[in-house]
Chains A and B, each alone.
Chain A
């Protein structure tokens, strides 16, 4: 079993295995990654940093491509979903 990483997604603490990306953590947490300009719920599409659908605010830094960023202990992830 890989070590667990604890982070917060929209204020709620979750634990994920080490090596999990923030995009995967958001889907595990059941959170919508973002709202589109017309207000639709969106989640990851390409999984490889191309589509920008999984962008979220990570540790205060906006528009991070969460599928390219690995979870770190104590990370604060915010979505506009």
Chain B
């Protein structure tokens, strides 16, 4: 374990990834200070800077209409200008991205943890008990694998209705199969080891054999996969939001920010890059976030892959 941490910090690529992750963690933790919410009870609602349909460029000052509303509510105005500009509908891009970092972590970590849990439980039961249990569980896995991920997630989200929790349910429901397969493969291999029989010969319960003896020997490839999947889960969630089946309108979510930019990717005639900020800022957050996880995941894989051991 110490070796892994040392390697992660001594390797340049993973160091970049770790630094990026660290920055995102800081942003997520200090979101209330970086972008103080209007109402503490509902910080994920992106405040509007104006009622404009068109995006407005960085540095755009808060409009008089909105100023009036603040005044009538007796709320102080914290941000006079939109640092990254506003998206379609006058939503503050900066605010959306800062609070969206929390959403991204939440989506990534919750979906990956849950799907890893389901996959690991299913895969290890299938591998350990074998026979018809294995057959049944793995055929179910195959059925789930045969459905295209994005389509399945979209359909399920549409059925369940709009909302981030629904997106996460859909992502978990169709995201656990990879883990099940990986853990099954490793356990099938380790199960034949003498020490597993030795543990059985000592009278250790099946549950404890799986949890204490098999999983510590087999969980690492799954964790590598999980760390890389956090990025792709966030992308998929963003894609669902972009397609309009994700977070509710105005919710701080990177996918939502990108989806706001959908009609403004190409600017007005003769000025194609007019609304660049509407696309650029949300996109760069997503790219860096996914990149960070992939860099860390890649290095983890290199460290844990015995064939590559010693070459780092």
On whether the two chains bind one another, the answer is: no
